[in-house]
Amino acid sequence: MCRCSSPNMSRKPQSPRVVCALLAALVAGGCLQASGQETDSASERRVSDRFDVRVKPDDGYRPVGSSNQVRQDGIDLKAVISAAYDDNIMLSSSAPQKDFIVRVAPSVAYTHGDPEGKDGYYLRLAYRPVGVIYSDHSQDNRIDQDAAWESGWRGEKLAFASGGRVQQLGDATPDTGRQSDRVVLDQVARLAWTPGEKLTYELAAGRSSTDYRDKSLVDSQNTYGEAAIRYNYSPKTRIGLVYRAGTFQVDGAGDQTVQRGTVQMQWKPREKIAFDLEAGAEHRKFDNGSSTNPVVEAKATWTPRPGTEIFVGGYRRTEASASLVGQNYDVTGASAGISQKFGQKWTGKLETGIENATYTRVSGAGIANRRDKILFVRPSVGYQLNENLLLEGFYRFERNDSNQTGLGYEDNTVGLRLGYQF
C-alpha cells in the first residue's frame, strides 16, 4: 500500500471504459508527492510506505496551492524546501546521532491528455530530485531521485495502460537499522476489455525490484501475471475478483512461487463516505516449505463537512528482509488521521499508526524470531500564504520496539516546509 497521504476517494465512480484505463496506477502510478524517506513531513520509513498500492493517477500532479486541480496538458513546476531537526538519523538503538537536515526538492511533471476523459491517448511524466544536506554529517549528503511515468490508450471497448516508478533512496530503514542506498523499481502493463456497460475483463503483467548498493544486503525481485474481472454493480458500488501468480526471487535463497486471490470492492454509500477494500489469501512455496496467509488493503474516508476529512486504513502483506538472508517478514498495520481546515488559510493534520513485523525463515537453517512493533504520530499545521505558496510546520515521533539485539529505536523529527507551485 503508496500512502503516502490519505487516499482521495471523493470522486464519483467512472464508467467501466474509463475506469479500466486508469488501472496502470494499480502498482506503479505517478506518486511523487510522498517519495523518498526523508523528503518532508509526510515521509515514512516503513510504516505505510507502501500503504496505497493502488496509487491514484493524479497523485504527484496536484499543485501546492489551494486550487487543488490537476493539469490536463502542459508542464507543472514545483519546489519544496524543508529544514528539520532529527535526533536519530541512523535509527540507532544504542547510539543515536542527531542532526539538522535541509532538503531541497524541485519537481517537474508533464501531462498530455486526460486519463479520466474520453477516448484517446494520454501521457504523464514526472521527475523529482531531492537534495539531502546534513549539518554535522556532511559525508552522508546525497541526492535522492524519484521518476514516474504513465501512459494509456482508450478505445470503444479496449483500453491499454502502462506505468512505472523508479526511486533512488539512501535513508535508514527499520529492517536494516542503518542508512541503505538502494534503487526501487515498479512497473506494470494492463489490457482491459469492456464488452458491455458493467463488466470489464483485464490481463496484466508487472515487475518490482529492490537493489542495494551494499552487497551485504539482499536484493529482491517480484515478477507476476494477473487476471481480473470487475463489475459495476451500481454507480456507488464496484467489485472485482483478482488472481495473481508470480515468482519472488531473493538473493541467497531459492525462488518463491506466489499465488494470490483477492476480492476488491469500492463502495460509496453516501456522498461523504467512501470505502476501498481488497482482501484475500496468498500462498507461497519456498525452500523450507510453504505458507498461506491473508492479504489486506483497506481504506475508508469520511468528509462530515467541507474542510474536514477523517480517514482510517489497514494492511497486511509479506516482504523479503534485506538484512536477514533467507527470511521474509509479515507486516500488519493500521493508521488513522484527520485533516481540518480552519478558515481560508490554516489546515491542521494529525495521523497516527502502528505496524507489527514478524520474521520467518523461508530458506536455509537457523531460527527466525525477530519481532518489530512500530508506532508513529505525525501532527502538522499548514498556512496558505497565497495561491501558490504553502508553509507547513510538522513533527514526527516514531518508536520501534524490536526484540532483536542492536535494533529498535526512538526518533523525533521537527521542522518547517515551504512549497511553491510555479
With 70 as the cut, is the pLDDT of residue 120 above it?
yes
Q: Looking at per-residue confidence, does 392 or 15 come out higher?
A: 392
pTM value is 0.81
Q: Which of 11-15, 54-58, 207-211 has the highest mean pLDDT?
A: 207-211
Q: How many Å separate Cα 314 from the centre of its chain?
A: 13
117 pLDDT tier (thresholds 50, 70, 90): low
Domains plus CATH for the chain?
Answer: 16-421 (2.40.160)
Query: How far apart (Å, rounded) are the C-alpha atoms in residues 23 and 223?
Result: 18
Residue 398's nearest CA partner among 96, 61, 32 is: 96
Q: Write down the pLDDT at residue 262.
A: 98
> Averaged over 136-165, what is the pLDDT?
93
pLDDT tens, residue by residue, 313-354: 999 999 999 999 999 999 999 999 999 999 999 999 999 999
pLDDT tens, residue by residue, 17-47: 333 333 333 333 333 333 333 333 333 333 3
Q: Per-residue DSSP letters for 250-274?
A: ETTS--EEEEEEEEEEEEEEETTEE
For the four alpha carbons of 309, 375, 317 and 125, in that order, the dihedral sign comes to positive
pLDDT tens, residue by residue, 41-97: 333 333 333 322 222 333 333 333 333 444 568 999 999 999 999 999 999 888 899
Q: Write down the pLDDT at residue 118.
A: 63
Do the Cβ atoms of 254 and 245 come closer than 8 Å?
no
Q: Write down the pLDDT at residue 196.
A: 87
